[in-house]
Amino acid sequence: MNTRSRPTKTDLAAAADRTIPDVLAPALSVLFVGINPGLWSAATGWHFARPGNRFWPALHLGGFTPRLLHPSEQVELPALGLGITNMAARASARADELSAAELLDGAAVLTDKVARFKPRWVAVVGVTAYRIGFQRPKAAFGPQPESLAGSRLWVLPNPSGLNAHFTPVTLGAAFAELRAATGLRVRRPT
């Protein structure tokens, strides 16, 4: 598939239950953790790839990237000290198709991954997945009191276009709050 082409309905249907590679490197500043890949992401191989997903704009508005990146440019993230993985590996049309057991298993796999790669911060993008996977039913957005395998832990809102509780501006502000806490140099939105 060309880097900017759109998956067909057949591509999307075939993407169910696929996995996609992490964007990881040792000692990142922030490892962002999605809930699981959507079908669009599984069809393209790019995290947060569905049009309408606000992860990439929030990352930029939050000051993590010098410009708005397209999902196909995710390979540029490690040079910025950033990475992406998921709580659950298998792709689905909606995150609510995942079972609690999948999120619990995913939290264990994530903990091992964090222990191995040692990012300074882990930012889980989706409070419900965090609450279920880590058995923290009262967890709120923002910094968490516990660490994860020695990394500081933060919970961000889900950037899915289905999450109507947050606008692109409020998502950008939530990401900016994390960026400020990390001490990363401000990357001004262009």
Distance set, CA 107 to CA 2, 83, 87, 142, 146 (Å) = 33, 17, 6, 18, 14
pLDDT of 57 > 70? The answer is yes
pLDDT of 162 > 90? The answer is no
pLDDT band at 95 (very low <50, low <70, confident <90, very high): confident
Average pLDDT over residues 89-93: 93
pLDDT of 17 > 50? The answer is yes
**Phi, psi (degrees; rounded to nearest 5) at 186:** -65, 130
- In this prediction, residue 187 carries a pLDDT of 55
| Residue 106 parent element (H or E) | helix 100-117
pLDDT band at 166 (very low <50, low <70, confident <90, very high): confident
| Mean of per-residue pLDDT scores for the chain | 92
- In this prediction, residue 87 carries a pLDDT of 96
Highest mean pLDDT among 2-6, 155-159, 161-165: 155-159
pLDDT of 190 > 50? The answer is no
- In this prediction, residue 168 carries a pLDDT of 87
